[in-house]
A and B are shown apart, each in its own frame.
Chain A
Amino acid sequence: MRKSKKIFWLFLAPCLITFCIAVVIPTLTGIYYSFTDWDGLHANCDFVFLNNYISAVRDIYFQNAFVFTFKFVIITVIAVNVVAFAAAMLVTQNIKGNNLFRSIFFMPNLVGGVLVGFAWQFIFCDVFDSIGEILGINWLCDWLSTKSTGFWGLVILVVWQMSGYMMLIYIAQIQNIPENLLESARIDGASSFQCFWKIKLPLMMPAFTIGLFLTLTNCFKLYDQNLTLTGGGPAKATEMLTMDICNTAFSRNMYGMAQAKGIIFLIVVALITVSQLMFTKSKEVEM
């Protein structure tokens, strides 16, 4: 087939141009700005070497957000995947109405982060309060007003929202497991526990690779839900990294430092997700 260079660039142009404007140029200028005393507006700024990075690492809010984000990511990734996996196992058991259950479990995923945050604010503040009062359970009252209730509130919210999505991925993988493989294992006398542990689970690894990757990136990048559920409060105790970066720039007006935090954030997220991909990929088995 005759292939002209003109067509190649012509077909690529709309994507490439907007992609450069939205991603490539800001990434490169962002790296440059992170080494300067940039004020967010003007391009002429002085080089300050690693000062932004040093002050970012020393910044107490950044440290707190870092610890908070890591704790949140670890617990949420585990919780989301456990719930999703359990839900996937339940709805693939050939029971009545499993399609309906599937639809219900997935539905929260479509609702935007801003709405979900406000909705759960109502649940945690008003509904939990009144249930706590009626049943006389103290720990149900005053949610979101302390650091730990804010933390667990966010975890519950994200489990509620994200599990359905991961469930779909696990369902697709479970349905990919050939029935004859399980059949022959059963004939060989494998118990259903062994079938699950020795056959289903290893063959599920590709789904875990994707599921973990998606939950990891989504949890790290979480912003809307954090903003609308607790707003980082009380007293910035529940701020995640994304929100800290925004606040450093927009309310503290320290653009250079905010940009340095952004670059650190990029490196950390990239390192963690890439090593996760490599690790779980190595555990996948060939059929």
Chain B
Amino acid sequence: MQRKKIISKTVIILCCIMLAAFFIFPILLLFINSFKSLKEIYMSVLQLPETMNLDNYISAFKELDYLNAIKNSLIVTCTVTAANVICCSMAAWVLVRYKTKTSKLIFTIFSVAVLVPFQCVMLPLLAEMGKLNMINMPGLMLVNLGFGSSMSIILFHGFMKNVPVELEEAAAIDGASQPRIFFTIVLPLIKGIAVTVAILNVMSLWNDYLLPSLTINRSGTQTLPLRTYLFFGAYTKKWNLGSAALVMAIIPVIIFYVLCQKHIIKGVTEGAVKG
């Protein structure tokens, strides 16, 4: 019995290691090759680099306009995430607390909208944004807020249904206004789900490519995925620079993951299960 257990544990661990290798090896290979010259890569992609040469990183750093791209991505991601969490929690709160037909209808529209794929609204949206002169960063952020609102409202709505109303009623009897009730009583109670919504927003906004590629036309305001795409347009097959650029583009994500891994894993699970 004991022996059987040890064997089965070893098999499980071996399976895990094999699976882990599958998940790690692309990034590992990119990392290894990012230190090589193009000639070295052509000779063999699998060998370790002869020297730790940082030249690729220096050129890729310049060509990617790295700091600027990160700054732009950060601006879009942070602004939209903050706005999304505040606006959607407000909206979800009134949608839960006002049990009218209008409120039910509005919530249904928000829920159904999750199914609408971007490609379906993309063309009229672009025409409309062009007409309203809402291109580049402000337009991008506004549209992102609108797009993200369905999912966030569904999540907040699901959570707030279970927040007891008595506390709010007591505060109302004490004479607190509704905005005050929301910001001082409700908001602290929903901190957990707010973190979840924020994490989900950050993940999708940071990696978004199509919408920024269609709305941002001023150079210098491109986000990181956009810059990476343009970079590869100019340097196809130059994998020495390409791998360095990719490693640099992945670094912020890794930092984010290491810093808030617990929240991310909880957020992703909760977001999926409740949504």
Residues of chain A at the chain B interface (Cβ within 8 Å): 1-4, 7-8, 11-12, 14-27, 29-30, 33, 40-41, 43, 83, 86-87, 90-91, 93, 95-98, 101-115, 118-120, 122-123, 126-127, 130-131, 134, 160, 164-165, 168-169, 171-172, 210, 214, 217, 220-221, 223-224, 227-228, 241-242, 245-246, 249, 255, 258-259, 262-263, 265-266, 269-270, 273-274
Contacts and interface: CB of A to CB of B under 8 A. Distances in A.
9 contacts: A1-B168, A1-B169, A27-B124, A29-B128, A105-B20, A122-B30, A223-B209, A262-B121, A270-B115
B120 A21 contact: no
Q: Which of B142, B145, B146, B269 has the most CB of A within 10 A?
A: B146
Given A22-B125, A127-B29, A273 B106 contact: no
Nearest to A104: B20
Q: Lowest 6 A-B CB distances belong to which pairs? A: A22-B146, A112-B207, A18-B146, A26-B121, A262-B120, A14-B87
Interface stretch (B52-60, B89-97, B189-197): B89-97
Contact of A246 (B45, B119, B121, B249): B119
A169 B270 CA distance: 9
A111 B250 contact: yes
B44 interface: yes
Contacts of B97: 1, 3
Given A4-B178, A11-B90, A21 B128 contact: yes
The residue among A91, A103, A119, A249 with the most chain B CB atoms within 10 A of its own CB is: A119
A241 B87 CA distance: 33
Contact of B93 (A11, A107, A265): A11
Interface string B17-40: 001101111110110010000000
A228 B229 contact: yes
B48 interface: no
Interface string B126-160: 11101000000000001111110110010000000
Contacts of B110: 19
Contacts of B143: 18, 21-22
A104 B273 CA distance: 21
Contacts of A103: 257, 261, 265
A242 B117 contact: yes
Interface of B: 9, 12-13, 15-16, 19-20, 22-27, 29-30, 33, 41, 44-46, 83, 87-88, 90-91, 93-95, 97-98, 103, 106, 109-110, 113, 115-128, 130, 142-147, 149-150, 153, 165, 168-169, 172, 178-179, 182, 203, 206-210, 225, 228-229, 232, 239, 242-243, 246, 249-250, 253-254, 256-257, 261, 264-265, 268-269, 272-273
Nearest to A166: B272
Nearest to B15: A90
B209 A113 contact: yes
A126 B45 contact: yes
A249 B120 CA distance: 12
Contacts of B19: 83, 86-87, 90, 101, 105
Given A22-B146, A122-B242, A27 B120 contact: yes
B13 A95 contact: yes
Contacts of A26: 121-122, 124-125, 128
Nearest to B249: A115
Contact of B94 (A12, A41, A93, A108): A12
A105 B24 CA distance: 8
A14 B91 contact: yes
A112 B252 CA distance: 11
B257 A110 contact: yes
Given A15-B91, A103-B261, A228-B229, A122 B29 contact: yes
Nearest to B98: A8
Contacts of B91: 11-12, 14-16
Contacts of A27: 116, 120-121, 124
Contacts of A258: 123
A90 B121 contact: no
A13 to B, nearest CB: 8
A3 B165 CA distance: 13
A95 B12 contact: yes
Contacts of B242: 118, 122
A86 B95 CA distance: 40
A119 B210 contact: no
Given A12-B94, A21-B146, A115 B246 contact: yes
A47 B256 CA distance: 50
A22 to B, nearest CB: 3
A168 B150 contact: no
B229 A269 contact: no
Contacts of A274: 115
Nearest to A110: B253
A114 B225 CA distance: 6
